[in-house]
Structure 1
Amino acid sequence: MHLLTDGLKLAAGRALEELLERFTSTRLRGLGAGILITALVQSSTAVTLACIGFVNTGLLSLRNGLWVIFGSNLGTTTNAWLVAWLGFGFKISAFALPFVGIGATLMLAAPGMRTRALGRALAGFGVLFLGIDVLKDTFSAFGEEMNVEDYLAGGLLGQLLLVLIGTLMTVLMQASGAVIAIVITAASGGLLSIEAACALVIGTNIGTTFTAILAAIGATSNARRLAASHVFFNLITGVVALLMLPVLIALLGLIRDWFGNAGDPATTIALFHTAFSVLGVLLMVPLSNWLLRTLEGHFKSREEEVARPQYLDANSAAIPDLALRALRMELNRSQAMATACLRGAAAEQAGEAAIRRQRDTLQTLSAAIAGYTGKLNTEHLPPVLVDHLARSLRVLQYQENAAESSLQAAAQAVSLTPLTPTLHGALTAFATAADALADAVDTSREEFGNEQVNQRLRETEEDYARLKEALLVAGAHAQMSIRDMQEHLRHASLLRRAAEQAAKAAHHLAALDEGAAAPQDAPAGVDQAEAGAL
């Protein structure tokens, strides 16, 4: 199973990631993607880990990732069908040995990595079924002499013990498909009854959650929520399947007889595996929204706690003046986040990850503030308060612009080429001025003042102009490539924009706090065209 799974994953290349990125926009598509990818790579663990990775990096939402996980549980049932149809419907050595031979040849002689990986998968496929052939003969001999259930307690207690054995086997082998193949072979050889085999299969389903739990350690809150949803889904599905075990087996026996497979344990176990996975998905359809709400209330990160509004509530919303005061206090918090982004971008070693976390926190808080203002808009507010509300939203937009430009500047800084000492000095002076401006525009400081903001902004503009001129001269005199010059100019421009937007937010916040009119003129250094647009 490891040869087969690893070979398929390597041969697929980026197909796993591309499918997850492109085909998970709705619940149904996420479910389909989970089924398809798991059927292709024969590993629900691989899909689960990929999902956690994508949710961890924000490429996949928690809601859509949830349905990929559910689909993965359905997709893993294809392994049981492969074993049931190929392992017990054909002369195994007739097709398994050629797969081993062809696969081994490709592994040794193929020129490309993906072709060698495909050979590995083919060899693994052949060896898997050769192993099943050996198990069939061995279990058949054992089955004539003994029954595993003779050594277990009867009833529900015995079934629970079998579920535990199946869970432990999966945790130890890290391949539920291999365990299911052994279970099907043991049942076909008479070593296990259908009921015992099905209880073991339930255990394998629960055992697959262990890897997801390990992968979630140290991950983001959403990734931990996704891992928790995987555990919840498999546990609930397992409990329901165990309680309904006699009914499900009787029903599947009727279906099996209808298809003309009477007395075939392999088909019955494969049917059971599929049926209880489908049952789990059906259970999740009405429960998924509740599960999402419950998960979002847990595994909260520090950033999410910070992103929660501290001053906005329904009580203050009922009194317009109080609501606007609470809004201004919340905007002071969001201003501190924007200035932290600016300060991070101005640092010599810009921490892109830290700025991204701060930007995301600001965006979350911004959404909460926008929702609060939406509720206020429904009230009958006097014109002066409506004007204050609009100005507050403008402040919020400036802050988000500052954070986004800071993040882009930090991302740009990673790929910049080293500068000559003279140019590096100009860049350092500009970054130092931007850092000083970040301190000045923090409205939570007791010594905050508009004049200081204007002074720091003028200094930032002057240092930006000197850096820009120096870069243009260096490019014109071939002291650096035109491409490198453009990259450095873009980085400086992004940092300058972040500084200007943070300064605008500070000016408007100060005017709101003082009850003054909105600033009419743009701060020093801002183009008049931009000022007019704003």
Structure 2
Amino acid sequence: MLTLLNLLSAVALLIWGTHIVRTGILRVFGTALRRLLSQNMSKRPLAFIAGILVTAVVQSSNATAMLTTSFVGQGLMALTPALAIMLGADVGTALMSRVLTLDLSWLSPLLIFLGVVFFLSRKQTRAGQMGRVSIGLGLIVLALQLIVEAAAPITQAQGVKVLFASLTGDILLDALVGALFAMISYSSLAAVLLTATLAEAGVISLPVAIGLVVGANIGSGLLAFISTNMQNTAGRQVALGSLLYKLLGLVLIIPVLDPLAHWLDTLNLDVQSLVIGFHLLYNSLRCVVLLPTVGPMARLCAWLLPERPEAGGRAKSRHLDPSALDTPSLALANAVRETLRVGDIIDSMLNSMLGVLRGTHTAVAQELRERSDDAEALYSSIKLYLAQMPREDLGEQDSRRWAEIIELAINLKLASDVIERMLRKIQQQKTAQRRSFSEVGLDELASLHSQLMANLRLGLSVFLSGDPESARQLLREKRRFRAHERRLAHAHVSRLQLKVVQSIETSSLHLELIADMKRLNSLFCSSAYVVLEHADTGALLPEKVQDN
């Protein structure tokens, strides 16, 4: 019982070490990896190589699968290059299994010691996060040693020998057992290493070991597909394609299993090296041969898992991937994209307001309420998503970005409420009281509205880019807007002295709309202050820039 517990704890330590390495690498290089994987990789070899490299860095094909399915689900990547990346990830994990089987016993204590020193002394810095990665690598090496040591007594037990004696080389049965190994250990690498240990001890034959390795690959595919259960259809299509490729590999290996086993027996290598070598050879050949078929596979996955139209009701978030919460840079990028969606809704609401002002768009009440509800729903999703992020793990720059996103989301939500109230006022004036603006007054409001739309779009651009020069331009536009708003208010009062009937009837509404637009402009331009407060340019000076 103690031996079994030691084995399970060693496997758990391997899983935990892999998790630490993955999260640490993503926290340090998450933005760079995101940029690499989210590029439009039209060339399949480039996507294939990217999958190998990213998997080698994060030490886990499951981590690469999580990133890739997330990007496809967010519309950052097409399905075809994503499948090529997944094939590369299979090769990458086989390469790492070969590297991690080398004699690295001296490396584990060194990595853990250095990692703890850097992580505890500089926790919130890049060096501290690299210390976290070093701890994870040390735990992986240590776990691999413990797995081999814990499995040795088990392989000598009579019950285990009888159990594995029932595996006589039936590739389907062996693959099923290998898949179970991978799913129980939550790692195809652990399953492959355990298989190599059993084969080295003579508990299983080489053909059985080959079947278990093939099954371990299928088990990792099943794990990836199950983990995407909560994602949208596009993300699940990637995991489905990866699983189908691994099942196809099983079909391709069946006819050549016996000749391959005999050929491997002729090599002058120990059994453990043969099993690990087969794992690398099998994944490499399978993925290279199947790489040209990613296009047809993408179409098959789209046919098997078609996109379903969203049910009616409020808008649903597209980019707030829960699996990215452990990686602040990725989670913040997702929140930024969702916040920009709220900005698009505000832009659409402002367009509707111009149509109502000119009388070309009269039936907007229901449409307006739906858009306002959409903005409310997305704002709530963004707020809850950011609340789930571990704030203690955020560096100074990420903490600042977190606050910027919250601030802009709040401002956009307030803007949607102001616009909804403005449109209700306009419609009530035109329908209930049968009053309309004068031609001059309408042109003035339209010009102010046009300037407001431009400032909204510039404000969103400043929020996205963080460019100080664009932020200065936004503040200049804000001052111009205020000067324009004052001129229009004075011009309206001057028209009242001329006793223009339409101006007198709509005077209160006219001035209220100007005041509301002024408030909207302040909300849209707030992102400039956030950028300039933290830009090392001295651009934000109290005597030069005054708020409203």
Query: What's the TM-score bracket when you normalise by the shorter of the two chains?
Result: 0.5 to 0.7
Q: Is the 8 A contact 2:228 2:239 kept in 1?
A: yes
Which residue matches 2:24? 10
Deviation at 1:38, TM superposition (A): 0.6
Deviation at 1:424, TM superposition (A): 7.2
Which residue matches 2:166? 153
| 2:95 counterpart (72, 78, 81) | 78
Residues in 2 aligned to 1:488 and 1:347: alpha-carbon distance in whole angstroms: 22
Deviation at 1:64, TM superposition (A): 1.0
Which residue matches 1:192? 204
Q: Is the 8 A contact 1:142 1:191 kept in 2?
A: no
Deviation at 1:102, TM superposition (A): 2.3
Q: Number of residues paired by the alignment?
A: 373
Which residue matches 2:64? 47
| 2:372 counterpart (338, 349, 352) | 349
> Per the alignment, do residues 45 and 433 of structure 1 end up closer, same or farther by CA in structure 2, a change over 3 Å counting?
farther
Deviation at 1:43, TM superposition (A): 0.7
Secondary structure at the aligned position of 1:169 is classed as helix
> Per the alignment, do residues 304 and 246 of structure 1 end up closer, same or farther by CA in structure 2, a change over 3 Å counting?
farther
Q: Is the 8 A contact 2:233 2:306 kept in 1?
A: yes
Deviation digits for residues 417-444 of structure 1 (CA, Å, limit 9, x no counterpart): 6879xx9767633488799x9xxxxxxx
Percent identity over paired residues: 20
Residues in 1 aligned to 2:230 and 2:424: alpha-carbon distance in whole angstroms: 33
Deviation at 1:146, TM superposition (A): 5.3
Secondary structure at the aligned position of 2:54 is classed as helix
Deviation digits for residues 360-400 of structure 1 (CA, Å, limit 9, x no counterpart): xxxxxxxxxxxxxxxxxxxxxxxxxxxxxxxxxxxxxxxxx
> Per the alignment, do residues 110 and 244 of structure 1 end up closer, same or farther by CA in structure 2, a change over 3 Å counting?
farther
Q: Is the 8 A contact 1:346 1:431 kept in 2?
A: no
The answer to whether residue 113 in structure 2 is matched with residue 101 in structure 1 is yes
Secondary structure at the aligned position of 1:351 is classed as helix
The answer to whether residue 452 in structure 2 is matched with residue 429 in structure 1 is no
| 1:128 counterpart (134, 140, 144) | 140
> Per the alignment, do residues 211 and 464 of structure 1 end up closer, same or farther by CA in structure 2, a change over 3 Å counting?
farther
Deviation at 1:150, TM superposition (A): 4.0
Deviation at 1:71, TM superposition (A): 0.9
> Per the alignment, do residues 142 and 424 of structure 1 end up closer, same or farther by CA in structure 2, a change over 3 Å counting?
closer
| 2:175 counterpart (163, 173, 184) | 163
Residues in 1 aligned to 2:311 and 2:141: alpha-carbon distance in whole angstroms: 52
Deviation at 1:213, TM superposition (A): 2.1
Residues in 1 aligned to 2:21 and 2:88: alpha-carbon distance in whole angstroms: 22
The answer to whether residue 296 in structure 2 is matched with residue 290 in structure 1 is yes
Which residue matches 1:485? 521
Q: Is the 8 A contact 2:174 2:215 kept in 1?
A: yes
Deviation digits for residues 214-258 of structure 1 (CA, Å, limit 9, x no counterpart): 34334333222212111111111133234432333334455xx4x
Q: Is the 8 A contact 2:54 2:89 kept in 1?
A: yes
> Per the alignment, do residues 101 and 486 of structure 1 end up closer, same or farther by CA in structure 2, a change over 3 Å counting?
closer
What letter is aligned with 1:13? F
Q: Is the 8 A contact 1:42 1:76 kept in 2?
A: yes
> Per the alignment, do residues 305 and 129 of structure 1 end up closer, same or farther by CA in structure 2, a change over 3 Å counting?
closer
Deviation at 1:73, TM superposition (A): 1.0
Secondary structure at the aligned position of 2:304 is classed as coil
Q: Is the 8 A contact 2:422 2:516 kept in 1?
A: no
Which residue matches 2:305? 299
What is the alpha-carbon root mean square deviation over aligned residues? 4.8
What letter is aligned with 1:7? V
Q: Is the 8 A contact 1:93 1:130 kept in 2?
A: yes
Deviation at 1:267, TM superposition (A): 2.1
The answer to whether residue 77 in structure 2 is matched with residue 56 in structure 1 is no
What letter is aligned with 1:6? I
What letter is aligned with 1:183? T
> Per the alignment, do residues 345 and 428 of structure 1 end up closer, same or farther by CA in structure 2, a change over 3 Å counting?
same
TM-score, with normalisation over the residues of structure 2?
Answer: 0.56
What letter is aligned with 1:10? G
Q: Is the 8 A contact 2:418 2:520 kept in 1?
A: no
Q: Is the 8 A contact 1:23 1:30 kept in 2?
A: no
Which residue matches 2:272? 266
What letter is aligned with 1:299? L
> Per the alignment, do residues 24 and 485 of structure 1 end up closer, same or farther by CA in structure 2, a change over 3 Å counting?
same
Deviation digits for residues 396-418 of structure 1 (CA, Å, limit 9, x no counterpart): xxxxxxxxxxxxxxxx9957468
